[in-house]
Structure 1
Amino acid sequence: MVLSELHKGDKAEIIKVHADKALKDRLTSFGVMRGETLFVKGCSIAKQTMEIEVGSTLIALRADEAGKIEVEQIEN
């Protein structure tokens, strides 16, 4: 499952980031890396962007970026 498939209020663990080095480095600098837990805070209409929380950091991602983050959903 990828991050873009989740909905507001969902919680997940990051399994793998399938991105080029530049994007992977940028996401890592925000704490988006394998083993971290994230929480979906919100989604725009048509899910073009998502707001996620990783640790104490809020991050807005485009749909194509979220589609490159493999996650495993955690039951709330």
Structure 2
Amino acid sequence: MNTLTNCPRGCETTIIKIHASGSLKQRLVSFGLMKGARVTLLEYAPRKSTVEVKVGKMRLALRKEESDMIEVEYEAK
């Protein structure tokens, strides 16, 4: 399973599934992170503790635990 955490910098991905539930899933969806959404991985924090992504015109910082729950599809360059 490819997760958002495994993508290289600059990678453009499509979300396949979010493996979260309850309030966390609702929060991610409210930011535009939902099935079929296009996401660009911009930057990693040291040790990949957080991930900066771009969804539409919005930039988000996600914890590693959250980005591990987002299954994505991307093409290796």
TM-score w.r.t. structure 2 length?
A: 0.93
Q: C-alpha separation between the residues in 1 aligned to 2:36 and 2:65?
A: 21
Please say if residues 11 and 73 of structure 1, whose CA atoms lie closer than 8 Å, have aligned partners that are also in contact.
Answer: yes
Q: C-alpha separation between the residues in 1 aligned to 2:75 and 2:52?
A: 17
Gaps spanning 5+ residues in structure 1: where? Answer: none
Within-5 A mapping of 1:27-38: 27-38=28-39
| 2:52 alignment partner in structure 1 | 51
Q: What RMSD over aligned residues (CA atoms) do the two structures have, in Å?
A: 1.2
| Number of equivalenced pairs | 76
Q: What amino acid is aligned across from residue 71 of structure 1 in structure 2?
A: V
Q: What amino acid is aligned across from residue 66 of structure 1 in structure 2?
A: S
Q: Percent of aligned pairs with the same residue?
A: 38
